Amino acid sequence: MSINIRRFRSDQADFAQQMDELLAWEAVSDAGVQTAVTNIVNDVRARGDEALIEYTNKFDRTSVATMAELELSQEQLQAALDGLSDAERTALVTAAERVRAYHEKQKQDSWSYTEADGTMLGQKVTPMDRVGIYVPGGKAAYPSSVLMNAIPAHVAGVSEIIMVVPTPGGELNQLVLAAAAAAGVTRVFTVGGAQAVAALAYGTATVPKVDKIVGPGNIYVATAKRMVFGAVGIDMIAGPSEILVVCDGDTNPDWIAMDLFSQAEHDEDAQSILVATDEAFLDQVQASIEKLLPTMEREPIIRTSLVDRGAMILASGKEDALALINRIAPEHLELSVEDPDSWLPGIRHAGAIFMGRYTAEALGDYCAGPNHVLPTSGTARFSSPLGVYDFQKRSSLVKFSADGASEMGKVASVLARGEHLTAHARSAEYRIKD
């Protein structure tokens, strides 16, 4: 069965409009989701553990009576890690070590400087006290998400990392629990959905209130994170996963087809786009897609994703391709070209850049080292990957000497009186030397 992937030329008259339609994505809940989430969040905020137990029994098909039944011990986490096969444990530990090594480079230190009159100015960097990480559970379990969300917080110096993970039907994923042990998670509660977000945001008798909530989830989780923002920090409201592959036509088309599949298999809303400067190469990739798609375990999902949201774009040259990259601002960008370094100066917007023919984006999902929590839906124009800096706060330091306070007091006085804020002015003027 052939697969009809949309194809565009960047020089066609309606290309801008076609791109707008292709990239359009509204991660906005409908009224039903909004109402349901509002009710759940408010109920958990009001009734705490009691409501959390009720919603967990209802949505995850469990029959627990106490919160003690919904918390996993450190012994259980360590047992999960110890119980893995040698291959799984080695892979998990290797990935964790690489993620940790990369994020160690991101740590920010406090700094200060002293002016000639003795005035000291600076910045104090402090880790958050407690953060919550949401991890999808059940069959859609992602141990890599545990590593990517918990390890930067651990490196930042966060003292408590609280993980929530739903266990539909009581199904515990041992790789997820093992990842929690490897990543330094402090406590784990087997709760999920909007109710878990509410518990983290406002606290219950058992679940501690956190300072920030990070991690992916479904539309109910995303809506709940949006609702509690302000009471706590959040990482982002993520849309579907996406990849933009730019190829010069000299990479094996089977490789490119599989790279596109690697995003499309996430779900039907995921987006895979190929940009090339050679129309014959687009034909080759199309042929590879037709050949390889029937071999894929998640073939129906990949097919729907590619037909509904995928595209192949013929660019006129390198500069045109660079303009497309910055227009799309992709979550994942693969530069499957001969000299990827020469492209970097022209790229302004991308979540993560995978450089060269051998750098499959899939490596970044698991073990390259950089974080796989990335800005989606064009938000790479103003957002960055999750990192250590997301778990650190910065406090400004100001310490004026007597001479400095006198001189700057004159400046502040003029500006404050210009704003008709007399108390501000007089407060500064008291420190002005006669």
Q: What residues are annotated to the active site?
A: 331-332
The pair phi, psi for residue 54, each rounded to 5°, is -60, -45
Instruction: Find all residues with CB under 8 Å of 239, minimum gap 6, and list them.
Output: 25, 27, 269, 376, 377
Helix (H, G, I), strand (E, B) or coil at 330: coil
Pair of tokens at residue 189: 């509660």
**Judging by DSSP bridges, how do beta strands 311-314 and 392-399 pair with one another?**
unpaired
Point out which residues pair with 6 in neighbouring strands. Answer: 311
Pair of tokens at residue 408: 């700057």
CA distance linking residue 284 with residue 249, whole number of Å: 9
- Sheet of 160-164, strands arranged across: 71-72, 187-189, 160-164, 130-134, 212-214, 233-234
CA distance linking residue 382 with residue 363, whole number of Å: 25
Instruction: Find all residues with CB under 8 Å of 219, minimum gap 6, and list them.
Output: 27, 29, 33
Residue 273 amino acid letter: I
Helix (H, G, I), strand (E, B) or coil at 243: strand
Pair of tokens at residue 237: 């409201």
Pair of tokens at residue 83: 């119980």
Asked if 316 and 11 count as a contact pair (C-beta separation under 8 A), the reply is: yes
Asked if 228 and 218 count as a contact pair (C-beta separation under 8 A), the reply is: no
CA distance linking residue 101 with residue 103, whole number of Å: 6
Instruction: Find all residues with CB under 8 Å of 372, minimum gap 6, and list them.
Output: 144, 145, 148, 352, 364, 365, 366
Quick one: which of 354, 356, 346, 306 has its CA closest to 325?
346
